[in-house]
């Protein structure tokens, strides 16, 4: 998926979230990773709580509302 295509998806959503605890229905969820967490593990929960789509970088999980990218954090911080 290109940045332009992701922007088109973003326009269909009412906001962005990286935390299922504060997610609003219709959000675009980004599954970020850190030293002590993997947001991919929360992608399905985000969809269940009402996220329209979840951007993930784990090839092993599938859902029609998941958008797969190579590296989620790198993808959203790209400047060019």
Instruction: Name the residue range of residue 34's domain.
Output: 3-77
> Minimal CA–CA distance to 48: which of 71, 66, 32, 75?
66
Q: pLDDT-derived band of residue 41, with 50, 70 and 90 as boundaries?
A: very high
Task: Give the CATH number, domain containing residue 27.
Answer: 3.40.1390.10
Q: pTM for this one?
A: 0.85
Q: Computed over its alpha carbons, how large is the radius of gyration of the chain?
A: 11
- Quote the number of domains for the chain: 1
Query: For 52-63, what is each residue's pLDDT tens digit?
Result: 999 999 989 889
Query: For 11-29, what is each residue's pLDDT tens digit?
Result: 999 999 999 999 999 999 9
pLDDT at residue 46 tops 80: yes
């Amino acid at each position: 998926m290109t940045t332009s295509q992701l922007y088109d998806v973003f326009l269909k959503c009412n906001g962005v979230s990286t935390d299922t605890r504060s997610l609003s229905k219709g959000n675009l969820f980004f599954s970020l990773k850190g030293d002590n967490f993997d947001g991919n593990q929360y992608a399905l929960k985000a969809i269940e709580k009402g996220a329209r789509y979840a951007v993930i970088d784990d090839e092993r999980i599938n859902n029609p509302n998941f958008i797969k990218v190579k590296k989620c954090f790198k993808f959203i911080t790209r400047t060019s």
